[in-house]
Structure formats: C-alpha cells, structure tokens
Amino acid sequence: MRDENSLLRERLAFLRDLYHDVLDDRRMLRGQIIGRRDSFGKMYAMTRELDEVQPQKLYRAAIRIMQDTLGGDSFGIYRIDNGGRFARLMAASPQTESLFSKSALLENYANVVIALDHGGLWVNRNLEQNLPMYAAGVHADGKLAVVIVLAKAQPDQMNLYFQNLFTIMCGLVESAMVRAFDYENVARHAMLVPGTEFLNTRAFLPKVLAANELKHDHMGDHLLLRVDDAWQDNGSRLMGAIRQTDEAGVLQDGNVYVLMNQAGKHELPIINKRLAQAGLHVTRVSGQEEDALLDEASEQVAAESHEGGTV
C-alpha cells in the first residue's frame, strides 16, 4: 500500500507538472497569435503609408517607418543618376546630417555597389570606416536606382535576424518606389507645360510641398529659386543646367521655379555660378515668400478641382 501510494503521488505530481506546462504553452501560443495579428496590422499600416505615387513623399515615409520598426536613427536614402556615376541624398534621419554626404561618387564605393548588384544587401562586417553598416538597393528597369543605408548600428543589430528584417523592410520600400517611378514615367508627359520640360502647377506644387514636409521633419533641405528668362529655348537651357534630382516647374503666378533638393544656402553660390554660366539669372525665394506662394497655389488648385468636379 505504501509503495502504491508513493507511485500514485509521483503520477499526480507528473500530471500536475504536465498540466502547468500545457497552460504555459497555451499562454505562449496565445501571445504569439496576438503578436502575429499585431504584426499583420503593422504590416498593413506600413503598406498603406507606402501607397504613394510621389517619390518625395515615399522617402519621408520610408525613413519614418524604418526608424519605428528597426529602431535605428541614422537612415539615409540616395537616388542614383541616370549615368550611374553619382548618388544624391534625398532624405535622412533627423539630426544625422554629418553622417551623410549630399553627393557621393559611386566608384568610391565599389564594394558596396557590387554587393547590391549581386546579393541586394551590403553588411559592413569588417567595420570599415566611412562606410554604412547596412545598405540595400532598389532596382528599376534592371538598374540600381535608389540606395537605402543605415549609417550606424547597435551591437545587437549585427545579427542575422536584423539583416533579414532590414531586407524585408527594404523590399517593401522597393516595391513602393518602383511603382512610383513607373507612374511618373508614364504620366510625365501629361504633367508638363505643353512644348516645354517644365512641370505644370498641378504636378510641381505637390513636389514643393513634399520638400517642405521633409524640411519641417528635419529629414532634408531645399532651395526654391525663381528663374528669369527661363522660357528661352523652351526651357532646354535650364533643364540642362540642373541636376536630375532637381525639378523645374511653374506656379500659379506664371513664373518658372527650380526646386533644388538637398541644397541649402551654403550651396547657393555654386548653384548661381552654374546657372549663370548657362546664361540664367535666379533669385532665391525666402521661406516666408515660399509659404505664401504655396498657400496661394494650393487654394487655386483646390478651387479648380472643385470646379472640375461640379461640371
């Protein structure tokens, strides 16, 4: 009887432990399900936020999403020019201007470019100076079009889990950007003032507004310049004197403006000299005047849209 009672107690203890283990597993699985549902919700929210057809807005959204999801605070997005020689900074995490050069010669980053062309991801495993810790490429029409970089990484981010997460996030951003580039390429002709390469007000205004949002969030800087005699040669002289990442367009006052992305007052003398060599004279639009122009242009576009909807 004593032996049988001891055996029963052992079985009871075993069943009790088994029961508690099942409860713990149930709680863990429930937490995973809830977490997965939350992850799906976050993924859906990110997809909605990246549902943009204007690249300038995508740069801002991408940096904000990647900071929130990955936990880094030193992200930068570069646009590659058509010649494949230079990368121009389009947006960067707030307060990290010193970490990113506004223009980079790609031949100086051959190892990074080769990694992006072959594997799609660069990881600075050797901790090389003056190179980002992570970089991922966005390819459009078979060419490297955009590079997303993380300049600094924490020790716990140098692992396979973070690499995979970074790759997934950049894949989401890549899909959105390729869609936006394709849309702009298809719709470009309809965005132009007839007979010129200047964007009309409806197309140019959102780009200036997006540049202002980047500036407000401390993710970028820009100059808005009014161009005299811009209509000469149907604007070909002006278009040949600005960078691929800059935009030229018309606002509601009928004047031609140039949006110089990621340029500030320190670059203004260089820009003035380059445009002067092309026979063009420009005037910098002050911040207060720019706000007034944008407000007036926004009201006009809204009124035209309302009238168009009521006809």
DSSP string, 148-181: EEE----GGGSSHHHHHHHHHHHHHHHHHHHHHH
Six-digit token string for 76: 């930068």
Question: For 124-150, what is each residue's pLDDT tens digit?
Answer: 988 888 899 999 999 888 889 999 999
CB 228 within 8 A of CB 282: yes
Strand duo 222-228 + 134-140: pairing? unpaired
Lowest mean per-residue pLDDT among 18-32, 105-119, 175-189, 246-260: 18-32
Phi, psi angle pair for 70, to nearest 5°: -90, -20
The one-letter code for the residue type at 51 is D
Question: For 181-207, what is each residue's pLDDT tens digit?
Answer: 888 888 888 899 998 889 999 899 999
The residue-averaged pLDDT of 52-62 equals 87
What span, in angstroms and rounded, lies between the C-alpha atoms of 171 and 152? Answer: 20
Look up the CATH architecture of domain 201-310. Answer: 2-Layer Sandwich (3.30)
Domains in the chain: boundaries: 1-49, 52-186, 201-310
Q: Confidence class of residue 79 from pLDDT cuts 50, 70 and 90?
A: very high
Enclosing H/E stretch for 45: helix 2-49
Phi, psi angle pair for 71, to nearest 5°: 85, 0
- Judged against a pLDDT cut of 70, whether residue 37 lies above it is answered with no
Six-digit token string for 99: 């970490």
- Domain covering 52-186 in this structure, CATH number: 3.30.450.40
Edge-to-edge strands of the sheet including 121-123? 103-105, 86-92, 75-80, 143-150, 134-140, 121-123
What span, in angstroms and rounded, lies between the C-alpha atoms of 26 and 32? Answer: 10
In this predicted structure, what is the pLDDT of residue 41?
61
In this predicted structure, what is the pLDDT of residue 33?
47
Phi, psi angle pair for 143, to nearest 5°: -120, 150
The residue-averaged pLDDT of 115-126 equals 87
Query: What global pTM score does this model have?
Result: 0.77
Identify any residues that bridge with 146 across adjacent strands, giving them in sequence order: 79, 138
Closest CA to 241 of 298, 282, 289, 301: 282
Neighbours of 307 (CB within 10 A): 9
Strand duo 134-140 + 143-150: pairing? antiparallel
Enclosing H/E stretch for 123: strand 121-123
Q: Confidence class of residue 311 from pLDDT cuts 50, 70 and 90?
A: very low
In the numeric block, the tokens 């993380």 are attached to 150
Question: For 205-263, what is each residue's pLDDT tens digit?
Answer: 999 999 998 988 889 889 999 998 788 777 788 888 888 889 999 988 888 999 998 88
- Judged against a pLDDT cut of 80, whether residue 301 lies above it is answered with no
First to last CA, the chain: 97
In this predicted structure, what is the pLDDT of residue 310?
44
| SS3 assignment, position 260 | strand
Neighbours of 40 (CB within 10 A): 10
Question: For 265-285, what is each residue's pLDDT tens digit?
Answer: 888 899 989 888 888 888 999
Q: Confidence class of residue 299 from pLDDT cuts 50, 70 and 90?
A: confident
Identify any residues that bridge with 104 across adjacent strands, giving them in sequence order: 87
Q: What percent of the chain has pLDDT over 70?
A: 89
- Judged against a pLDDT cut of 70, whether residue 35 lies above it is answered with no
